[in-house]
Amino acid sequence: MIINYLIIGLSVITLFAVLGLVLVYLERKVSAFMQLRLGPMRVGYMGVGQTLADTIKLVAKEDIVPNKADKLLFNLAPYIVAVVAMLALAPLPFTQGLQVWDTSMGIFYIAAISSITVIGILTGGWASNNKYSLLGAMRSGAQIVSYELSVGLSLITIVLFAGGLKLSEIVGSQQDGWWIIKGHLPVWIAFIVFLIASTAELNRNPFDLPEAESELTAGFHTEYTGMKFALFMLSEYINLFIVASVATTLFLGGWMPFHISNWTFFNGLMDFIPPLVWFSVKSFSIIFVIMWFRWTFPRLRIDQLLTLEWKYLLPISLINVMIAAVVVMTGWHL
């Protein structure tokens, strides 16, 4: 048993590290592609070794703790955020049978665990003993807590359709077609709301005023150096992956191939591609879309950000849940 747990733990940590490296490299290449330049090219073939070099550099940096900072909380904050990110990786179904923990409260567990990230951010901002980090952390906290409501409501729409919280069941219910095709209008609205609200959850552009506050400071992680800063950064990218995976699992069919009913030859061809490849392609295309947002849109001001959530997204999500309930009860979906 212990051996099982050890293997699982090590593989999750490895996945965390490797995914982080790949995503940082991907972000740099995607941004370069949109900005008419090349991105990292020198370290390794086409620059693949760049993130590894950056990680080694960060690990070798001096670990500075500010004088009057609260030492325990200051050191604890990055680990809270990192551990939460790893915990949220647990119930994700990467392919048939490859799932760390198939709990019966799958999606609920992910939503609950991701909320603990806020504690890590607030702890980091408070313990830094820096007026501006605290401001940035509080803004960030307010933003995340507000947008969790919309995320939750859009997830509930799919739960209504699929009839359960267990992730493998949700994927299974998409055997004859992905929810984004089967459930029509309510699922489309839920998908768009989910994408917008998750970008805000991740503190990414266009919602990154707490972080890229170019006049005050770099937000809650200003005072962090070296490995702790690396953990904050990696956790942000892993959260990006988790959001993309959740979107894939709930809306785009998880590891299910793209079937069109009665086109048996086509379906056979689609089945030939392994499910893991399907999952990766879907989640990486959502990651690409979220990265695309970052490099295209300007930033929203903090009050515009909160107005967007409370006055627009939340009412739309609530109405959408009601529409979804009606559709499920009357069976108007495919």
Partner 1 sequence: MTTEPETISSIANSGIPIRSGIISPDFEAQDFLINIGPQHPSTHGVLHLKVHLSGEVITDLEPCLGYVHRGVEKMCEKLSYRQFIYLSSRLDYLSAHINNQACVIAIETAMGTEATPRAQAIRIIMSELTRLASHQLWWGCMGMDLGAFTPFFYGFRDRELITDIFEETCGTRLTMNYMVPGGVMHDIHSDFVRKVQEYLVHLKEKLPEYDEILSGNQIFLERVKGIGMLSREDAISYGCSGPVARASGLSCDIRKSHPYDGYDKITFKEILSSGCDNFARYQVRLGEMRESIAIIEQLIGNIPEGDFQAKVKKVIKLPKGEFYQRVETARGEFGVYIVSDGGNTPFRLKFRSPGFSNLSVLKKLCMGLKIADLVATMATLDLVIPDIDR
Task: Give the residues lining the site for partner 1 (CB under 8 A).
Answer: 31, 34-37, 131-132, 205-206, 208-209, 212, 214-216, 295-304
Smallest separation (angstroms) from partner 1 to the CB of 318: 23
Residue 176 to residue 171: CA distance in whole angstroms: 10
CB of 161 to partner 1, least distance (A): 31
CB of 130 to partner 1, least distance (A): 9
Q: In the complex with partner 1, which residue's Cβ is closer, 108 or 295?
A: 295
DSSP string, 52-66: HHHHHHHHTS-----
Q: Which is nearer to partner 1, 36 or 60 (CB)?
A: 36
CB of 151 to partner 1, least distance (A): 20
Q: Computed from CA positions of residues 78, 83, 84, 85, in that sequence, does the dihedral angle turn out positive or negative?
A: positive
Look up residue 185 and give its two tokens.
């209008």
Shortest gap between Cβ of 245 and partner 1 (angstroms)? 27
Which long-range contacts does 279-285 make (Cβ < 8 Å, 24+ apart)? 279/93, 279/94, 279/95, 279/245, 279/248, 279/254, 279/255, 282/248, 282/252, 282/253, 283/241, 283/244, 283/245, 283/247, 283/248, 284/26, 284/244
Looking at the DSSP assignment, which residues form a beta bridge with residue 1?
none
Report the residue number, 7 or 34, with the smaller CB distance to partner 1.
34
Nearer to partner 1, 62 or 215 (CB): 215
Give least dist CB 182 to partner 1, A. Answer: 31
State how far the Cα of 39 lies from the Cα of 32, in Å rounded to an integer: 5
User: What is the nearest approach in angstroms of partner 1 to the Cβ of residue 302?
Assistant: 7
Size (the chain), residues: 334
The minimum distance between CB 233 and partner 1, in angstroms, equals: 18
CB of 35 to partner 1, least distance (A): 4
The per-residue DSSP string of 156-183 comes to: HHHHHHHT-S-HHHHHHTTTTS-HHHHS
- Judged by beta carbon, residue 159 or residue 316, the one nearer partner 1 is 316
Contact 137, 122 (CB under 8 A): yes
Q: What is the dihedral of CA 100, 289, 146, 118, to 10 degrees?
A: 50
What count of other Cβ atoms lies within 10 Å of the Cβ of residue 193? 22
Nearer to partner 1, 66 or 257 (CB): 66
Of 36 and 329, nearer to partner 1 (C-beta) is: 36
Q: Which lies closer to partner 1 via its Cβ, residue 104 or residue 304?
A: 304
* Through-space distance between the first and last CA atoms of the chain, rounded to whole angstroms: 43
> Are the CB atoms for 98 and 274 separated by under 8 Å?
no
Give residue for tokens 């991907």.
26
SS (H, E, C) 186-210: HHHHHHHHHHHHHHHHCCCCCCCCC
Closer residue to partner 1 in complex, CB, 219/253: 219
